[in-house]
Amino acid sequence: MKVILDKYQLQLTIQRLTHQLMEDHGDFSDTILIGIQPRGIFLADRIVDYIRKTYPSKDIHYGKMDITFYRDDIRKELHVANQTDIPFSLEARKVVLIDDVLYTGRTIRAALDALLAFGRPEKVELCVLINRRFRRQLPIQPDYCGKSIDSIVSEKVKVEWENEQVVLY
């Protein structure tokens, strides 16, 4: 096991991602942030909390989306869906999808399909904590990336939110 981001580095990385989002989206009046269930919401919650502390008087639109039934790569198992909570239209709004690790790109492809049930966004961006650059199966790249790593297919990247670290094993 190798620690990619320790507690301090993880906190700094989340702050940097949040500042990049704030630079690009201003007061978030026309932007919706969406955490991808299940693991992306841990990152999204932290980003949204930081933004709300910075803009306490603003109403930040934040949703959580489950993409279980939009996936095309898991067919043999019975999956239990997580909650989707998007109580607003995405029509003509900017959307930032937030997930923990980008690897093959299939989760993001499923998220893009699921988004259409909530309207047609003006623009969709992707924010990830870890970008595993190799083994991408679809042409998907993040707009905001905490850290890019090179790893082999047998290695796994895990964001351990309870221990506040990211490990490669």
CA distance 41 to 22: 18
Residue ranges of the chain with pLDDT lower than 50? none
CA distance 118 to 50: 26
**pLDDT computed for residue 75 by the predictor:** 58
Contacts 24+ apart (CB under 8 A), 113-118: 113/67, 113/70, 114/65, 114/66, 114/67, 114/70, 114/84, 115/34, 115/65, 115/90, 118/86, 118/89, 118/90
Q: Is the pTM of this model over 0.75?
A: yes
**pLDDT computed for residue 73 by the predictor:** 62
Question: Per this entry, what is the length of the chain?
Answer: 169
**pLDDT computed for residue 162 by the predictor:** 96
CA distance 82 to 103: 21
Domains of the chain: 2-70+86-168 (3.40.50.2020)
Instruction: From 42, 31, 55, select the one nearest 143 (Cα to Cα).
Output: 31
43 and 129 in contact (C-beta within 8 Å)? yes
**pLDDT computed for residue 81 by the predictor:** 67
DSSP-derived secondary structure letter, 69? G
Neighbours of 26 (CB within 10 A): 12
